Structures are given as C-alpha cells and as structure tokens.
Structure 1
Amino acid sequence: MSQTENQPIYADQLVALLEKAVQGAWADLPKLKGWRFDVSEGRSVSLSIVDNKLGSVYGPATARDSLSGGLYLIWDDEKRSNGSIDRLTVPEFEMRLREWRNSAYTDERAPDIRQPDPTYPVVEMYDPQLEPLVQGETELLFKILQAGEKELRGAGGVEFLDAGASASSSRRFLRNSKGLNVSYPSSMFNYSFYADSLYGNGYSKRRLAPEEELGRVLADVREVTAELKKTGSFQANPTGSRVVLDTGLAGSFVGQYIGGNLSGSGVANRQSAYSLDDFKENKQVIRQDISLVIDGTRPFETSASRVTSEGIPGGRGPLIERGKLITPALDLKYAGITGFPPTIGGGLYIEIDDGGQRQSFKDLVEQVDNGLLIYSVLGMHTQDSTSGRFSLSAPRCLVIRDGHLEGQIKATISGNFFDNINDTRTRFGWDPHEDNPAMEITCQVVVEA
C-alpha cells in the first residue's frame, strides 16, 4: 500500500487502548493521566555492493516493512514511563502496559502533555515518484550501482568498491491525549560509493535524485580517490598552517563544539561552555558574521520537520544570531527548567553574512598557497567540546600547493575551535550541492611518517 493510501488503523487501535488505560480498564494498575506517541509505518528497499559483488546472479533488492516508534506516559500518581512501539504493541498491549508501569520513574521536572498548536508548517517531505521503486520496481537501484561499478572500477582504477542504494516511504502518526492528531507521508532516497577504503560520496534527500547527480558524485569519488593514492609532502608552518575542512568535516566541528554546547540539558546542568545567563544576556561567542539556525522548512531535505515527537511545530529560528547567543536547543522539559520557549524541529545550519559575495569551495581551495584539505579525522567523539580544544589524527590529508592538490599525507591537527570560529582569518567556501560550507582554519599540523 502506498503512503498516500495508508490508513491510520494501527494508530487508531493504539489510541483506543491508551484511552482504556485512562479510564482504568486494568484495576490493578494506576490510571493513565496523559499520553503521547509517535509511530511510523512504511517500507524500504535496498541494494548494495560489498566486496565488489552486486547482489548475486539472482539476488533481488532487499525489501523490509517496518513499524516503530515511541511513547510517553503520565500515570495518575505523576510517575512517567517511556516505551517503544512495534507491531506487537497492540496485540500485546496489556503486557506492555505492565512493563511500562514497572519501569515508571519519578521526575518532578518532567513535562506535561502539550496542547496541540493551531497549525503546523506544511513542508515537502514526500516524493510520489519513489513509490513504484519502493513497491518493487527496483531496476533503478541496479542501474545506479552498475553505473558506479563501471565508472569507478572499470574506468576509475578503483580496486575495492563498497556501495549502496535505497529508497523508502513511510507515514508518520503523532497523537496525544490532549487532541494532537497529525499524520503525513515522507520518503527517502539515497546512494553512496566508497572507494578503496579511502573516500566516499553520495546523495541523500527525500526525493528522487536528478539524473545528472549520479555523474557528479561518481566523478568526485573517482578524482578524489585518485589524488589520495598519490604520495605528497608538506612542510608545516610552526606558527600555524592553513587547513581546509571539507563541508562534512566542518559540519562535524560545528556540531561538536558549537552545537554540543547549545544543548538544553548541558546548559541547564552547567555542562556547557555557555551558561544560562550567557543566553539571557545574548553574549557574543562567535564572529558576528556567523549565525546558527534550526531550520525544518527546507523542502525534501533529511532535516525537514513538520513537528517534533513532543508536538513542537517545525519552522526556522536562530540559536546564535550574528555571533550572539539567542537560545539553547530545548525540549519541553528543559524549556520548562530554563524559561526559554521549546526549540522548533529541524536541522542545524550555518549562515554567513557575506554581503552577497559567497565564495565557492573551489575558490577557497585555489586561494591556499600551502595547506591541507581534510575530509575526515579520527577521534572527534573523544574531544572535550566545552574547552574548544582538539587534537585529531587525519590519516588522509590532501596537500594544497599554489591552489592545486598534490597527493596525500598523514598528519595530526590541533588547536582550539573556539579561537578558530572567532578568527578573522577563518574563511568559508560553499559547494552548491551541500547545505553547509567548508571552512579554512589555521591550526598546528604535525606530519606523521
């Protein structure tokens, strides 16, 4: 059944059972005072190349039906429960209810059930063109991976190729005891290619990829992989070397050191580099031409969001505006604790006030006379985000000399990202196919043998 035809049968059944618990249908259990759930039902289909084998001679794509989600319960004695939802939740409801009660906890700061908002933003998240593929017409997935194998292994000199392609469609159902009733379809389409354990790229959005996108992705994988197979040399500057962080890696740095310190729980529990007073005073913490926004309104992006599982509408709003703290990222619990409004649903994006003179990623690299281009590092999760300090192994750096790529080296980079994000020398470059920019920073580099 396609998502445009999918009926909320399961959601309706679960609502009826939860309302029975509100009425006290199980006499040996406390009544429920309130509830909410968020469940998605859908189908996905996938195909992969592993160890250079595309399925097998008769190997079909793998299809999987799924139903999963979560729920939050408030009992009559004010205890709370969190639980998961699957296909057996309805037929096994009484047993599950007892399990949820056995795991109930006390939290005086836990949120109530939110009243429904008058409206929720309409964001394009579903591409009906994907439905035939999800329902079994999987020829496109084979064509994509076969094209990658021909381009990368045949003409590109790639020895080992790992690749995958998939599509999915689902319908989301959000309900709560105060009348929230939102449902809508969504879809996903993605493919990726990873060559010789060196470099990978792909496509991932909520709509079918344009035909020309595959050629661009394969050309990028072929060209970057070829550069990474060349041996380069680099003389680090003892006062700091210029390092370009690719778009994905730059996003990881921003997420770790800036986004991580915007967490509502971290701020409220004094485990953030920023205090609650810093937000109340709109403290300047990064360069004033830089803003960080939550945006769930971008059509067909993976971050697109109409509403969070707690019932908070999607939308667009700043966490940091022109370098000044505006609000932490808050769920209902920490919104109540901090006194700030709950944060809208969506993804984290960097915005640069460049006066309309946006620099391209290509130009950013070409303007580096002696530096490195880095796509990935090891150990980001081990870094202390509250101090800003980093020391990371970059096993495959591309050397930039006079704006040209000249082979790869292994290095360790170290510095302080808080200093980088405030440094006037830090520059940004945009790839038209990416949502966030690459960054050029200045940091210490130690070349490894």
Structure 2
Amino acid sequence: MSMLNIPLFFQDTAAVEGDMGMLWMLLSGILVFFMQAGFTLVESGMTRAKNAVNIAMKNFLDICVGSITFWLVGYSLMYGDTSNGWFFWGGFMQGEGADLFFQTMFAATAATIVSGAIAGRTKYTTYIIFSLLMTAVIYPISGGWQWQGDGWLTKLGFIDFAGSSIVHSVGGWAALVAAFMVGPRIGKYVDGKVLPIPGHNQILATLGVFILWLGWFGFNGGSQLAWGGDDATGASTVVLITNLAAAAGGLGALITTWIWYGKPNLAQSLNGALAGLVSITAGCGNMTATGALLAGLIGGVIVVFSIEFIEKKLKIDDAIGAVSVHGVCGAWGTLVIGLWGVDGDTGIGLFNGGGAAQLGSQAIGVLAYAVWAIVLSAIVLGILKATLGLRVTEEEEIKGLDISEHGSIAYPGKRQREFEE
C-alpha cells in the first residue's frame, strides 16, 4: 500500500516532517529564483532605456553562470568537508539536492547586486568573468565562515540567519569597488555638480520590488531549512517578521524623502522597502515583531542618507543605490542583532539584557565580510582593468550598451535616436 493511502496517524512523523522540510526548501529556492526577475525589472527600470537589454543579459548570465559554477566548485568550497570533496561531481546525499539548489540561488543573488551599480558603462565580457568568480569563489568561501557549521564565525557566536552580510553585504561591497573602479556615467558629474540620470520606467521598477518582496519570503523563510520549529523560529514566523520589516522600511524612506525633498519619492521609497528586507535578513530568526519593524524602519531611513552620501560626498556613481541597499543596510541588519536580538525568550542584544558580547561578534563579522569582499573584488577587477578593461568606449556608452554590446534594443517600436540621447 502506498504512503498516500496510509492514514496519517500510521505514518512516520519524522519522515513526513523531513519531506515537508525539503519541499519547503525547494519551493523557497524557486521563490528566490524568481527574485532574478525582480532584480532585472528594478535595475532596468531605474536606469536608461538604451541599456535595458544589457541589464537583462547580465541578470540572465548570473543565473546561468551561477548555477553551473556553484554546482561545480562553489558548493564544496562553501561546505568544505562534505563527502564530495572540493568539486561537486558525486551523487547527492539525501536532501543535498534541495540545499544545493537553494544555495545556488543565493550565489546568483550576490553576483546580481553588482550588476545594477555599474549599469550603463561596463563591458559585458569583464562582467561575465567577475560573475563567474563571485559565484565560484568569493561568495562560497566567505559563506562557509558561518553557514558551513564549523566555521570561525560560527565558533565566535556570529549570527546571520539568511545573509544580510554573507549575501547582501558581500555583493554590496563588491558593487562599491566596481562602481569606483569603473567610474561614473558620462554626464553624472559636471562642473562639480551632481546631475540626476533618472530611470526610464519607474513602473517596471515598482513591479520588480514587489517581485523581490515576494521572493524574500523564500529567501528568509527557506533559510529556516524546515517549515516547522518553535514559535520563535518557525518559517511562518520568519515570513511574518520579514514582511513587517519590508513595510516599515518602505515607510521609513517615504517619510524621510517627504520631509527632506518636500514630496515623497518613489524610487527612494522602493529602495526603502528593499532596505527593510535586507535589514531583517540576518535577524529574521532572532527578532521579535516589534524589533523587526524598528530594524526595517531605521534601514529605510539609513538607505536614503547613504545613497546621498555615496553619490554626492564620495562621488561614486551607483546607478540604482545597490551599495546602500545591500552593503550599508546589510551591515546594519547584521549589527542590529547585537542591539535588540533575541534567542527564544532571552534577550541577546545590548538593549535587552544581553550585554555587549553579541554586538561584538556581529561587528567582527560585518568587518570581516566587508574586508573580504572589498579586497577580493579589488584584486579581480584590478586584473580585469589592466587586461580586458572594465569600461566601454565613450562612443559606445553614449550610443547605449544595448546596441554596442548586444546589437539590439529593448523597445524597437521607438525611434532609434531616442536611445542615443
């Protein structure tokens, strides 16, 4: 008699829970895969129409390259002493296929974060190489420091439930180095003034944020690695916590821009929601609902000021605010655990009776991931700059990367000159 015909009370409860856990991880991985579509829409909508095909090609590349390189090299580098050694050639242990698929989507996300920051002026060939090394080496090695289970940050007590630092800050700091080394877009800084280069379609960007918001339920909820758990760490609670932080982040940025600019700004509000999501990614298993809301709210405020600071003070042209959303708010989301994080009913943060120990561990982790991503990215991009070059020519940039790099445009119904202006 098949399992489907056996009454539930005769089934092996542990086996059922294990199957449900693997199913939830698989579905979560599918949701995270869908985030790639969200990134494509956000990045293309917030940049110029003449580069939309290039954005799509980079996001498409990330999932293709990331799926193969992480399977081939990255997974074993990340988890070290698995039965498959350094290369993932062998068969899968039970449940390992779902975990590999889930983690592959995280690797692709880390690479994609860099894409938007350097939009509109970067060679596609050099981006391919950087994406390959990000998914094969840079992300997996640093991810193993905590998620491997026996890494040095794990032993230190560092907490990063779903990757505020491991995924987002690594991608964000790499994006900072890339944007600095590639240089600003033509027309961004003129006679000491910072000139806006608005995106071509804020509706696409809004749809992209909603898709990312949806996918994040899998990103954070799937990191529970099971559906069940107690009330503090069950996947349903993680999803709830994630949603509260995202909503608060969006409102935080909306209110901040309303006060600062005199009107609520859509692009900044969208980044605020993403900032709220990044801000809770590390602590979604170690945060109360109130703590999550506050973390997201502050993240939404931080991202507005961070974007302004990087653009106007550092004179680094981050085309979509990726460094602020993922790097800066990733650091904030990791540190906040040490401020008011919880472990079940016990406070582990500085402000809820846990002392400074957890904050110290979190700060060390934030610094370690920042240094790793910045140094490795600088080495890789420095070599690429000295060999293949990072940037397209001025003529190609003015014409648009869709034409110069791919020989096509995203909106063929419009007159070509509109894409060359």
Looking at CA atoms only, which structure, 1 or 2, has the larger radius of gyration? Answer: 1
Normalising by structure 1, we get a TM-score of 0.25
Normalising by structure 2, we get a TM-score of 0.27
Which structure carries more helix by proportion?
2
Which structure carries more strand by proportion?
1
Higher relative contact order structure (alpha carbons within 8 Å, sequence separation ≥ 6): 2
